[in-house]
Structure 1
């Protein structure tokens, strides 16, 4: 009987060792993610300056200041990747998926401010210091990348369209409307499940509507740039 009790105790003792090691790993992950979250918040705060009237027409300088900040984030990502056991990325994914989505959004925002173009998943992953595909290792999950693009439209571009009018930049809202319309068309090509990404995408049509209302207001007030009207007439 004693030997049976000793055997059971030994089994549960092994379980406890496993749980303790798992908890310690979880804490290490949280510390790494917390550092990345703090740096991403700082970048986000700085990028908010684009909405100030004096900065709306000088976005390249703001982006140039922010891009080097991603170097330290890439270093932190490498530290995080180093502590994740092989083939256990998705087991711990919930720890960093929110900050990864935010980083996807921030890289997309910078790319848009610089060139008014869509940031690819490859560009976003490279800037953050991770891989693109799971086969390569620690990567930017496709859903996280797509969430970031939707955040770009809902959190920044619709607001930027309004503030651009205030700053006297009447051409930007039209370009933003075109960009969001193309983004909406792109998402409609995807067979999204009824999950958080689908729900976030459903909001995109309202973001587009907000910007289209700004464009409509410019049109009826006769403030639409002449070159834009010429382009539409062709």
Structure 2
């Protein structure tokens, strides 16, 4: 009887190992595309990188098509209702993708990607009840990483002579910070990451302040040109 039990245990362990191996293979494939995206998007920080933003976003969107295929392979290997039994395999890569997709969407239209939109882009669900989905904490982790990347972009924008971009980044990250302050974060890693957000906000504010005291901060126009103001000052 005991012998029979242990034989069934071995069958279970073998099956478990096979599932994990298939998941590892699919995840490795996604990780490669993520590395390619990271390399592609780092170009925005180089000299003349701001001019390359459309090209970098286009290349990243093409890589995301491959990412979708990777998640298709991953999904078929995860048994129904066992998402959280195996998600340690793809958690980190999904967090990285949340950041990269959020960065692409920001660079394209200066807005925040929604969880639903991100899930759709990588070809999975946004709601837990529907099966293989984007875990909320993984999505939020990516957004916090985005704030750090935008702080870096604000500094490099000034170096590249774009003085209005840091001001727009500052407004966006301030709104992101306000959103996160509404959440009661229970996850330790997420809370630590959130603690660093205030430093990102401060760093961007310092860039904007520096532009202001150097007289480089663009004036917001309300239908009145600088020439109009100069003319009225002569009267």
Q: Above 0.5 in TM-score?
A: yes
Whether 1:12 and 2:11 are equivalent positions in the alignment is no
**What is the Cα deviation at residue 227 of structure 1?**
2.1
The answer on whether the counterparts of 2:40 and 2:59 sit within 8 Å (CA) in structure 1 is no
**What is the Cα deviation at residue 19 of structure 1?**
0.7
1:203 to 196, 200, 218: 196
The answer on whether the counterparts of 2:144 and 2:194 sit within 8 Å (CA) in structure 1 is yes
TM-score, normalised with respect to structure 1: 0.92
Whether 1:48 and 2:49 are equivalent positions in the alignment is no
Relative distance call for 1:194 and 1:120 in structure 2 (3 A) is: closer
Whether 1:213 and 2:206 are equivalent positions in the alignment is yes
Aligned residue pair count: 224
Other-structure match for 2:77: 83
Other-structure match for 1:119: 113
2:92 to 93, 98, 105: 98
Other-structure match for 1:137: 131
**What is the Cα deviation at residue 220 of structure 1?**
0.7
Task: State the distance in 2 between where 1:55 and 1:227 align.
Answer: 25
1:210-233, CA deviations, whole angstroms, 9 ceiling, x for partnerless residues? 111111111111110022799xxx
Task: State the distance in 2 between where 1:228 and 1:196 align.
Answer: 42
Task: State the distance in 2 between where 1:31 and 1:162 align.
Answer: 39
Deviates more, 1:218-227 or 1:52-61: 52-61
Relative distance call for 1:140 and 1:53 in structure 2 (3 A) is: same
Other-structure match for 1:28: 22
Other-structure match for 2:226: none
The answer on whether the counterparts of 2:119 and 2:126 sit within 8 Å (CA) in structure 1 is yes
Task: State the distance in 2 between where 1:73 and 1:170 align.
Answer: 35
Q: Please list every run of 5 or more consecutive structure 2 residues that lacks an aligned counterpart in the other structure.
A: 224-235
Q: Please list every run of 5 or more consecutive structure 1 residues that lacks an aligned counterpart in the other structure.
A: 1-6
Other-structure match for 1:39: 33
The answer on whether the counterparts of 2:26 and 2:74 sit within 8 Å (CA) in structure 1 is yes
**What is the Cα deviation at residue 62 of structure 1?**
2.1
Task: State the distance in 1 between where 2:184 and 2:221 align.
Answer: 34
Deviates more, 1:99-108 or 1:219-228: 219-228
Whether 1:150 and 2:144 are equivalent positions in the alignment is yes
**What is the Cα deviation at residue 55 of structure 1?**
2.3
The answer on whether the counterparts of 1:157 and 1:176 sit within 8 Å (CA) in structure 2 is yes
TM-score, normalised with respect to structure 2: 0.92
1:192 to 161, 185, 195: 185
Relative distance call for 1:20 and 1:116 in structure 2 (3 A) is: same
**RMSD, aligned CA:** 1.6
Divergent runs of 4+, >6 A: none
Other-structure match for 2:158: 165
